[in-house]
Amino acid sequence: MMRRSATAVIERNTTWSGSFATEPWEAAWAGEAVFFVRQLSSEDGASYDSLTARVQISPDGIRWVDEGHELILRGDQEMAFVRVGQFGGWLRLAGDVGDGSARVIVYLSLKE
């Protein structure tokens, strides 16, 4: 049986500054996931040193708890990722940019 898969663009051309969290995403059908955060070049000169995004899980899409994995995307990097499995029904990223801001596109690649 071929495994089903789907990639969602959960943030697109979004500017993060300070604390951030992606929109809740339902992923109960999937067994494994990879978040990619890609930095977009920005005409408004958005820049930052480093951002950390923690994987969070939830039983209901409303209340969230850290899953334990995280990614770090430095200001001079284009993209970073984090893998996660056994996450139950909901996924999101939450984190901090620190000083400055980052313009990003965020992918969530899911697979059965």
Partner 1 sequence: MTPIPAGPFRPLPNIIFADDFDRGLEGWTGLIGNYEHSLDSILPGFRDLRPPMLSNASTWDTGTGGGALGTYSMKLATRARAQSLAVGIKRLTFSQACPIQVETLFTFKPEASQLRLSLADVGAIGVILDLQDDRRRVMPHLRYQNAIDGQPAGQWQFKHRTPNFRNIGDSGETVSHFHLGPDGWDDVPNGQQQLCYNEIATKQNWHYLRVGFDLASMSFTALQCNDRHFDVAALQPMTMPAMPNLWCMLNLVFFAEASADRRAFLYVDSVVMSADFGAVERSDGS
In the complex, the residues that contact partner 1 under the rule CB under 8 A are: 4, 6, 8-10, 12-13, 23-29, 40, 43, 59-63, 89
Amino acid at 70: E
Q: Quote the least distance from Cβ 19 to partner 1, whole Å.
A: 15
How far is it, in rounded angstroms, from Cα 69 to Cα 56?
Answer: 8
Nearer to partner 1, 24 or 98 (CB): 24
Angle at 60 between CA 58 and CA 65, to 5 degrees: 20
Instruction: Say if strands 79-85 and 32-39 run parallel, antiparallel, or are unpaired.
Output: antiparallel
Written as six digits, the tokens of 51 are 């951002």
Minimum CB distance to partner 1 smaller for 21 or for 50? 21
User: In terms of CB distance, is 34 or 40 closer to partner 1?
Assistant: 40
Under 8 Å between Cβ of 79 and 38: yes
